[in-house]
């Protein structure tokens, strides 16, 4: 490994080790209207503290060090107190870790971080009712959501009931014909099939009507959920850390995480009653953390505290390949390295979601519960096929949505929230379209699929803007037929004639927070590395602070003043390039989905030129070896002449 001092921007933001101040040749407007700048002057400037003088990148963002003076002090304390290399210390400090918490952060355990499950409101009543059902061998109906969190939650609870010998049913609603959450028709069918207890997972918190009907039919109901809750709860036992009277502090859990908490409490209660025996052993809940990890990452729950422990231990369980369904999905996705959060979010999660988006919504839960490797391979192959179809459907809808927004740019550019809708969009991909619109236009976005006068919409937010709260308020104000969600994502049902009022309502509700969030949208840089310094050893060091995802953000590394060479298009709109340093060091880099967008335009304009390139370092483990690659996020003109 090269000496850290040769490759990194560490101790002070105004010193870039191993990088010389560039000779200015003037900004390149194709790359950045404000890029470049005198290196030493810009880095020393206060209060800007710009990295490499980048005040405006290709994406219009200033680049600033993640750590302020207090963060520098935390990093120094971690490095000196624990003997960690500077880059690891700075990555830890940039994620709020202190000298006192560093050891626990680097080795989190579920045992140490698991709170008392009964601190959750409703837990005692839910466990008592489930114990009664298990001991009496009642038929329990599990009603899940059609996304990854719903499928994992349903599979978790079903697996526990199977171990207890308790009969169970699973119903995952059809996204188009049934919509989100429990519905009366499905509940009536479950009742006729013999269910006496209905358990809603990842849904049900706002389902007053259907759960009232369940009660009228003689079904007891339990809701295990995490979505934002109204002041008045439905007629059910509700275990949801985001209900207004819950003081557990576990609101960051996804639904599968809450289900795991219920299983821990239920397991204990059954053990205390002597239920588990040699012939009927208690399930090993640690092996079930693979599903909790998958749901946590796919639902973009923050990787802090207990969530982080769930994911670390769950990835370990996943690597053991003990669950035939997940093993088949991993193989079908051609994942040839130990799974990481990136794989869960971008390879495995989309395939499970594909069934609920454009196919059979129950396929995901069936796969996760499947114990037969051959049947698991068949289901995984079908989900893989559906995922391919989903990509085509999504691409068509996204092109239509982007065209719609760009044609209305004069109006939309003044709005805080992007809203696009059409008759011919598939309801199964609108969440993905909303996410792409948010990325493209850097503000919260909704995509709505209309069918006549009614529309089903999905929204995605930006950090610092509570979209779920705004949707809940709009629903209570009568502007939506139905709505719910959490801070970063929400779903809505509305009439076409409600659209304008809903749009205006959002401008008032979240306009100020959107403006504040966008004004602070600088790129927070963790370190500056040359291509030669970007070694596998450095990446392994950085990974010690992981796993990275929402709430424990992946470190951003800048490769300074390297020549952008061998730019080529690969796949569907991706760009590959080589970054070459003056010392001959080379780093392969990829910009996914960049072609035809500002980032792709800037990369193409930089061919043969020197540029500062920001991104995430990854390891390609193909063929048994390890190669470092950069996943490009942004690029800025380096102010260096071609030589």
Q: Per residue in 414-451, pLDDT tens?
A: 789 999 999 989 999 999 999 999 988 889 999 999 99
Q: Per residue in 330-355, pLDDT tens?
A: 999 999 888 999 999 999 999 999 99
Phi and psi, residue 215, nearest 5°: -60, -40
Average pLDDT over the chain, rounded to an integer: 89
Q: Is the pLDDT of residue 174 over 70?
A: yes
Identify the band that residue 641 occupies on the pLDDT scale cut at 50, 70 and 90: very low
Q: Is the pLDDT of residue 40 over 50?
A: no
Distance CA 164, CA 142 (A): 15
Q: What is the pLDDT of residue 11?
A: 28
CA 579 to chain centre: 29
Q: Which of 250, 202, 184, 153 is nearest to 489 (CA)?
A: 202
Q: Is the pLDDT of residue 611 over 90?
A: yes
Cis peptide before 207 (omega within 30 of 0): no
Which has the higher per-residue pLDDT, 68 or 36?
68
- Is the Cα torsion angle 387, 450, 150, 140 positive or negative in sign? negative
Q: Per residue in 476-509, pLDDT tens?
A: 999 999 898 888 899 999 999 999 999 999 999 9
CA 523 to chain centre: 19
CB atoms within 10 A of CB 518: 14
- Is the Cα torsion angle 466, 468, 472, 474 positive or negative in sign? positive
Q: Is 72 helix (H, G, I), strand (E, B) or coil?
A: helix
Q: Is the pLDDT of residue 206 over 70?
A: yes
Q: How are beta strands 168-171 and 139-144 bridged, if at all?
A: parallel
Residue-wise DSSP of 113-145: HPPPGGGSTTHHHHHHHHHHHHHTTPEEEEEE-
Q: Is 552 helix (H, G, I), strand (E, B) or coil?
A: strand
Q: What is the dihedral of CA 470, 474, 475, 478, to 10 degrees?
A: 170
* Widest CA span in the chain: 80
Identify the band that residue 326 occupies on the pLDDT scale cut at 50, 70 and 90: very high
Identify the band that residue 48 occupies on the pLDDT scale cut at 50, 70 and 90: low
Distance CA 354, CA 293 (A): 19
Mean pLDDT calculated for residue range 270-276: 97
pTM: 0.85
What letter would DSSP give residue 8? -
Give counts: helices (H), strands (E), the chain: 23, 18
Q: Which two structure tokens, joined as six digits, stand for 203?
A: 């849904």
Please give the domain boundaries of the chain with CATH numbers for all domains. 4-94+526-637 (2.40.50.460), 117-312 (3.90.1640.30), 321-389 (no CATH), 408-519 (3.10.310.30)
The number of CA neighbours under 13 Å toward the Cβ of 57 is 28
Q: Is the pLDDT of residue 176 over 90?
A: no
CA 321 to chain centre: 23
Mean pLDDT calculated for residue range 554-565: 97
Q: Is the pLDDT of residue 107 over 70?
A: yes
Buried b (16+ CB within 10 A) or exposed e, 283-292: bebebbbbbb
Q: What is the pLDDT of residue 444?
A: 95
Q: How are beta strands 610-620 and 586-591 bridged, if at all?
A: unpaired
- Within 358-422, strands assigned E span 418-422
Q: What is the pLDDT of residue 250?
A: 97
Distance CA 274, CA 523 (A): 56
Percentage of the chain beyond pLDDT 70 is 91
Q: Are 438 and 423 in contact (CB under 8 A)?
A: no
Which has the higher per-residue pLDDT, 575 or 518?
575
Q: Is the pLDDT of residue 518 over 90?
A: no
Phi and psi, residue 124, nearest 5°: -60, -45
Identify the band that residue 43 occupies on the pLDDT scale cut at 50, 70 and 90: very low
């Amino acid at each position: 490994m090269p000496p850290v001092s040769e490759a990194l921007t560490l101790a002070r933001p105004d010193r870039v080790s191993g990088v010389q101040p560039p000779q200015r040749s003037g900004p390149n407007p194709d790359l950045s209207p404000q890029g470049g700048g005198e290196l030493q002057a810009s880095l020393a400037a206060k209060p800007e503290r710009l990295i490499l003088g980048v005040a405006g990148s290709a994406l219009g963002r200033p680049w600033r060090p993640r750590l302020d003076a207090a963060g520098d002090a935390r990093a120094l304390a971690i490095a000196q107190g624990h003997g960690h290399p500077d880059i690891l210390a700075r990555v830890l400090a940039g994620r709020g870790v202190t000298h006192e918490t560093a050891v626990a952060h680097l080795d989190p355990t579920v045992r140490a971080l698991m709170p008392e499950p009964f601190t959750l409101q409703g837990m005692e009543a839910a466990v008592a009712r489930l114990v009664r059902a298990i001991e009496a061998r009642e038929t329990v109906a599990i009603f899940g959501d059609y996304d990854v969190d719903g499928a994992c939650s349903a599979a978790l609870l079903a697996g526990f009931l199977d171990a207890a010998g308790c009969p169970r049913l699973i119903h995952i609603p059809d996204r188009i014909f049934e919509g989100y959450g429990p519905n009366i028709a499905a509940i009536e069918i479950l009742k006729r099939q013999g269910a006496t207890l209905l358990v809603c997972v990842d849904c049900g918190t706002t389902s007053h009507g259907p759960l009232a009907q369940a009660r009228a039919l003689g079904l007891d109901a339990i809701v295990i959920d995490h979505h934002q809750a109204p002041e008045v709860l439905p007629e059910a036992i509700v275990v949801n850390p985001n209900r207004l009277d819950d003081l557990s502090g576990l609101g960051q859990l996804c639904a599968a995480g809450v289900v795991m908490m219920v299983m821990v409490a239920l397991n204990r209660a059954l053990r205390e009653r002597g239920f588990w025996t040699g012939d009927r052993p208690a399930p090993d809940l640690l092996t079930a953390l693979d599903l909790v990890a998958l749901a946590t990452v796919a639902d973009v729950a923050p990787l802090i505290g207990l969530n982080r422990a769930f994911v670390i231990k769950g990835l370990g369980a996943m690597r053991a390949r003990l669950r035939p369904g997940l093993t088949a999905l991993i193989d079908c996705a051609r994942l040839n390295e130990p799974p990481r959060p990136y794989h869960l979010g971008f390879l495995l999660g989309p395939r499970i979601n594909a069934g609920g988006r454009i196919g059979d919504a129950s396929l995901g839960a069936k796969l996760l519960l499947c114990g037969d490797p051959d049947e698991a391979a068949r289901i995984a192959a079908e989900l893989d096929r559906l995922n391919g179809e989903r990509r085509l459907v999504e691409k068509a809808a996204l092109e239509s949505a982007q065209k719609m927004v760009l044609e209305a740019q004069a109006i939309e550019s003044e709005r805080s929230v992007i809203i696009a809708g059409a008759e011919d969009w598939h309801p199964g991909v609108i969440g993905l379209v909303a996410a792409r619109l948010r990325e493209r236009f850097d503000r919260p976005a909704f995509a709505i699929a209309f069918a006549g006068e009614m529309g089903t919409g999905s929204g995605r937010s930006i950090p610092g803007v509570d979209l779920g709260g705004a949707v809940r308020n709009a629903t209570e104000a009568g502007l939506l037929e139905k709505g719910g969600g959490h801070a970063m994502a929400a779903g809505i049902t509305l009439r076409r004639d409600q659209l304008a009022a809903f749009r205006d309502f959002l401008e008032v509700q979240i306009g100020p927070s959107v403006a504040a969030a966008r004004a602070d949208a600088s790129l927070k840089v963790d370190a500056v590395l040359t291509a030669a310094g970007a070694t596998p050893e450095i990446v392994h060091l950085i990974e010690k602070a992981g796993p990275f995802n929402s709430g424990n953000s992946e470190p951003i590394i800048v490769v300074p003043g390297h020549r952008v060479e061998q730019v080529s298009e690969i796949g569907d709109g991706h760009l590959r390039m080589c970054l070459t340093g003056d010392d001959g060091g080379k780093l392969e880099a990829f910009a996914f989905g960049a072609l035809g967008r500002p980032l792709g335009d800037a990369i193409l304009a930089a061919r043969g030129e020197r540029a500062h390139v920001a991104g995430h370092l990854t390891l390609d483990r193909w063929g048994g070896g390890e190669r470092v690659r950069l996943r490009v996020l942004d690029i800025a003109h380096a102010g260096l002449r071609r030589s």
